[in-house]
Amino acid sequence: MTKPSLLELPTGVQLIYLAEGGANVIYRFVNPIDTLSPQLEGKLLRLRKQTAADITYKEIARNFDTIIRPLFKPDELVDQTLIRLPDTLLSKCNEQLRAAERDGQRPRKRHGTYLCLSEPFGLLITDMTADDDSTLAELKPKWLNQSPSAPETAHRCRTCALREMKNHTSFLEAKEQRSFCPLDLVSEQYENVLRATGLIKGCTDRSRLAHILFRNPTLLRLQSLQKTEREVGLLGPLAQSRDMSLAMTLRDCTMFVKIPHDERSAVEIRLGDLDLKTGAGGKAGYWRDLETRLIEQDWYRGSECGYIPSECALHLQRAPPRPT
């Protein structure tokens, strides 16, 4: 059985900058689709920056294909496929990034970092951006189960405990964060899912989004995988093991919910940001140190009296009833 030939990006392709994070820049294809390969239709192009981690796209794609892809159905994932780049493309893109800095068109915090010129590949990824016919809700369903090393008497889940700790640290700077409790997302009660949707960005119709997410198979699949891959907290294996990497990856992905304006059309739900996490560069130690702080400083129990009351689903379940 022969392997499929590697895709190659046409030399004359034109790109427009869409967005970027710490390690990648995302571009949209400008060319009319009939001048491009049909395999590029409905795709965006992801290009790798020069970073300290220096993980090649070939390795990222191999991990995705062998570890992540088998865990989900194809239509549940923001797909990614290796594609070979034309020789001069990265240099041209870097010139555009520098020009965007001079013109004030590039986020200031991204200045000074550019695409890796030694990376011969890009990644084609599923285009989950909103268009004239749809809106996009975006959320991080991080810890859909409690941390296995949390105290049994905890009144906060892992996500809510961390949020409250960060809020306490930044309280004097008036930078309080608010976000949904992940336990609400997978609740068997519709009202709890509706409560969560009030803090999800990108969709103004909370009721419709709540109905989409209520007992959603992709969310429940992710919850099940997080429960199975529980080598996290303080109970897991060695810090840089494959099991811990997968467990943390499943707890740091993004769910994209593309909602057509026409309610008769199908909703598209995919999980992205599933590059296999690595414990290198001190990240594994950071994860463990963070868990230790949450436990030892009683953020799980919510014992720091007098601070902001928790909206965590776990707290609402365990809090004593208010006097009538």
As a whole number of Å, the CA-based R_g of the chain is: 21
Q: What pLDDT score was predicted for residue 280?
A: 62
Cβ contacts of residue 171 below 8 Å, gap of 6+?
none
pLDDT of residue 166: 87
Look at domain 7-126 and name its CATH class.
alpha beta
Rounded to a whole number of angstroms, the distance between the first and last alpha carbons of the chain is 72
Q: Is 264 exposed, middle or buried (0-12, 13-18, 19+ CB in 10 A)?
A: exposed
Quote the pLDDT of residue 2: 44
pLDDT in tens, the chain (324 residues): 445 578 899 888 889 999 999 999 999 998 655 566 778 889 999 999 999 888 999 999 999 999 999 999 999 999 999 999 999 999 999 999 999 999 999 999 999 999 999 999 999 999 999 999 999 999 999 999 999 999 999 999 999 999 988 888 766 555 667 889 999 999 999 999 999 999 998 888 999 999 999 999 999 999 999 999 987 777 655 555 677 889 999 999 999 999 999 999 999 999 999 999 876 666 777 888 899 999 999 999 876 544 555 679 987 776 554 444
Quote the CA–CA distance of 181 and 27 in Å, as a whole number. 32
What's the token pair of residue 55?
């993980």
- Give the full edge-to-edge strand order of the sheet including 254-260: 134-139, 254-260, 268-272
So what's the pLDDT on residue 324?
45
| Sequence ranges of the chain with CATH classification 3.30.200.110 | 7-126
Q: Give the per-residue pLDDT at 305.
A: 46
What is the predicted pLDDT for the residue at 70?
A: 97
Distance CA 207, CA 205 (A): 6
What is the reported pLDDT for 231? 76
Can you give the pLDDT at residue 278? 73
**70 is written with which tokens?**
């088998």
What predicted TM-score, i.e. pTM, was given to this entire model?
0.89
What's residue 173's pLDDT?
A: 58
